[in-house]
């Protein structure tokens, strides 16, 4: 008992002295700097720690003081936990030490991700947020053995949507600590900034991100890459010329004009290889139309353009990384609103490919705008088609926020997407495309197809995918239903509460993989 009391007294004294040193140092610093370092759990030792290479080097400059402080300041750091030390180094008044778990855990078949990478993202994120809360505005980050994952954890963890608030969180800049793999760090920053762009678009209020504003934002973000990118913001008259009756049936209830955003990224202009086609649902606000949604949580439907946000952000990231692959992005953008002009339940509309659709539920609008976009996308003879959409609440019921549901007619395409998701930790899970579901949308009283399944709620995500397949002839097509991963509460530790921007990094990693896959 005496030893325990002495240890606690020593811990209290250490923390008090550190805080005093920190406060004193701040009077001499206009730029408050911090450092995030990692420690692994030492195999076979309950309270043992193994410093990363950068942490060990830092400890050496302090003559072992960091190791000593870690021993006397409490129990060994477990994965995801962190501890802050103050005033132990003249250049870094705050040093956050984070627990990385076991070293070199690698890919976990049960979890379908690389556990080591996920541990690093979580730990670095926690450390950076601690320092941000201390109003540190510049942080150097330990690579922790994987500079890309460390960069992703830092940039994703620090993102906070406060653009419309008077009081904002401390803006923190980050850089790699030491001379580790700077190229991997920059790649990780680009991946995270891509996801953060999608989060920015999804989180913004619907009166700030209208179809026109969305298109203008993406055009601005692609401005620095104009030599490799072509942008077409198609107007309503063009949409009408294309005979996109399904898309127009959704947009007509709103005063906001629709926009069909078409992006061409020519990362490999001399290549004869067909492009990758990405299509994103772009409903900038979804009231449900005449089939009005319940008012609780309707505000979250500002993010119903999450498919378009992740697709466009992926192309911005591909351009920033100069990926050697050609990508075409399509985003049918509009609002789904009730008015005297809005589509009524039971109306029949005609899609671009001539198929007629009985619209029995105007809140099943995403599949209508995607149908016309998919028909148009086939004109480019793409290598593969991937469409992304916050399509069904049924997807959230099925998988929750654990993974994006993937419906695909191609084993090859599934393998590519799955492989990418293991690397990013933003997982995908394959769902069925049985004819069982197709019959439920083709058995229709008034038209070729019904926009909802015959049995309404049963298998809703699957019948929605079956509906989309009626507008696909390409041999390699995948539909990603991201309704379950649209927002984050506390499920992904390195993302704050709010819109998630998932699965942007997986789409980028997938495109990067195609660039090297013949």
Residue 176's DSSP bridge partners are 141
Kindly report the length of the chain.
Answer: 518
d(CA 173, CA 316): 21
Q: Is 293 annotated in the active site?
A: yes
Do residues 66 and 7 touch, judged by C-beta distance below 8 A? no
Closest Cα partner for 463 from 430, 484, 436, 428?
436
Q: Which residues contact 486 (CB under 8 A, 6 or more apart)?
A: 202, 300, 303, 306, 390, 499, 500, 502
C-beta neighbour count of 21 within 10 angstroms: 15
Q: Is 502 annotated in the active site?
A: no
d(CA 53, CA 39): 9
Closest Cα partner for 36 from 225, 175, 171?
175
- Kindly name the residue from 42, 102, 228, 293 that is annotated as catalytic: 293
d(CA 493, CA 509): 21
Contacts by 168-172 with C-beta closer than 8 Å and gap 24+?
Answer: 169/132, 170/132, 170/135, 170/136, 170/137, 171/137, 172/128, 172/131, 172/132, 172/136, 172/137, 172/138, 172/139
- Kindly name the residue from 221, 367, 383, 469 that is annotated as catalytic: 367
Residues that are catalytic: 293, 367
């Amino acid at each position: 008992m005496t030893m325990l009391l002495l240890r606690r007294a020593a811990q209290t004294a250490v923390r008090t002295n550190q805080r005093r040193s920190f406060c004193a140092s701040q009077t001499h610093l206009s730029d408050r700097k911090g450092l995030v370092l990692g420690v692994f759990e030492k195999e076979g030792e309950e309270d043992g720690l193994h410093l990363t290479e950068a942490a060990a080097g830092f400890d050496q400059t302090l003559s072992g003081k960091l190791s000593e402080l870690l021993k006397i300041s409490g129990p060994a750091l477990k994965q995801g936990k962190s501890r802050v030390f103050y005033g132990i180094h003249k250049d870094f008044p705050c040093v956050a030490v984070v627990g990385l778990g076991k070293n070199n855990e690698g890919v976990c078949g049960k979890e379908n991700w690389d556990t080591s990478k996920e541990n690093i993202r979580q730990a670095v994120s926690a450390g950076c947020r601690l320092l941000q809360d201390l109003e540190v505005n510049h942080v150097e980050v330990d690579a922790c053995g994987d500079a890309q994952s460390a960069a992703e954890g830092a940039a994703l963890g620090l993102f906070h949507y406060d653009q419309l608030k008077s009081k904002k969180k401390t803006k923190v800049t980050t850089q790699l600590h030491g001379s580790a793999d700077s190229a991997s760090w920059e790649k990780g920053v680009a991946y995270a900034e891509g996801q953060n762009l999608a989060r920015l678009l999804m989180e913004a209020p619907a009166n700030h991100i209208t179809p026109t504003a969305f298109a203008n934002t993406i055009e601005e973000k692609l401005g620095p890459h104009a030599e490799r990118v072509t942008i077409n913001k198609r107007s309503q008259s063009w949409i009408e010329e294309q005979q996109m009756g399904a898309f127009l049936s959704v947009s007509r209830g709103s005063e906001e004009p629709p926009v069909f955003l078409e992006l061409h990224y020519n990362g490999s202009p001399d290549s004869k290889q067909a492009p990758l086609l990405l299509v994103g649902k772009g409903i900038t606000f979804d009231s449900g139309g005449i089939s009005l949604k319940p008012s609780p949580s309707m505000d979250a439907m500002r993010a119903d353009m999450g498919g378009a946000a992740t697709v466009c952000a992926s192309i911005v990231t591909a351009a920033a990384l100069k990926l050697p692959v050609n990508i075409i992005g399509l985003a049918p953008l509009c609002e789904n609103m009730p008015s005297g002009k809005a589509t009524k339940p039971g109306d029949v509309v005609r899609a671009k490919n001539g198929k007629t659709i009985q619209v029995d539920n105007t809140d099943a609008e995403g599949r209508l705008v995607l149908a016309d976009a998919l028909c148009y996308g086939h004109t480019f003879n793409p290598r593969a088609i991937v469409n992304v959409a916050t399509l069904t609440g049924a997807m959230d019921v099925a998988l929750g926020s654990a993974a994006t549901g993937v419906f695909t007619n191609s084993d090859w395409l599934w393998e590519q997407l799955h492989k990418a998701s293991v690397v990013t930790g933003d997982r995908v899970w394959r769902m069925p495309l049985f004819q069982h579901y197709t019959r439920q949308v083709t058995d229709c009283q008034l038209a070729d197809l019904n926009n909802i399944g015959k049995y309404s709620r049963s298998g809703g995500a699957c019948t929605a995918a079956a509906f989309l397949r009626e507008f696909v002839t390409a041999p390699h097509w995948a539909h990603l239903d991201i309704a379950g991963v649209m927002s984050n509460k506390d499920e992904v530790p390195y993302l704050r509460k709010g819109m998630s921007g998932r699965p942007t990094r997986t789409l980028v990693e997938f495109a990067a993989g195609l660039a090297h896959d013949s």
